[in-house]
């Protein structure tokens, strides 16, 4: 089974960058599709980005396209989220997600594994 631990969150000014990491334990990481979600105060959790097990398919929410990049290194059991041109509306707790089925990750419902989240705060 895969367990997920996010890191890399913090406080940055608008226009800045952050790189989130999600370290996974378990031998089967390379078989899992991975995703990033976020939840702002008072709002529902929303999809940010997803990547297939081989890294060949990547999907982004419209709100982060051309600003965020998802990637993975299976040899290091890690998935990343490079966030550029950050905006105050990107402020949220960011969660890592893992599931065998990429469609499940894209939908966000019934995902097999979730991390505990990392706080990202963007000041204006």
pLDDT in tens, 2-44: 899 999 999 999 999 999 999 999 878 889 999 999 999 999 9
Three-state DSSP state, 4: strand
Residue 100 contacts residue 112 (beta carbons within 8 Å): yes
Residues 69-109: pLDDT tens digits? Answer: 999 999 999 999 999 999 999 999 999 999 999 999 999 99
105 within 8 A of 35, measured Cβ to Cβ: yes
Q: Which two tokens stand for residue 105?
A: 């990750």
Q: Which residue has the tokens 């997803």?
A: 50
Residue with tokens 């019934």: 110
């Amino acid at each position: 089974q895969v367990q997920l631990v996010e890191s890399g969150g913090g406080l940055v000014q608008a226009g800045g960058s952050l790189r989130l990491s999600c370290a996974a334990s378990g031998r089967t990481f390379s078989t899992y599709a991975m995703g990033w979600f976020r939840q702002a105060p008072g709002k529902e959790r929303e999809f940010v980005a997803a990547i297939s097990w081989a890294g060949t398919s990547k999907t982004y929410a419209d709100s982060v396209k051309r600003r965020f990049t998802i990637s993975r290194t299976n040899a290091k059991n890690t998935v990343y989220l490079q966030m550029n041109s950050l905006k105050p509306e990107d402020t949220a707790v960011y969660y890592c997600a893992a599931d065998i089925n990429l469609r499940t990750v894209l939908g966000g419902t019934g995902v097999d594994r979730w991390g505990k989240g990392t706080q990202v705060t963007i000041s204006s």
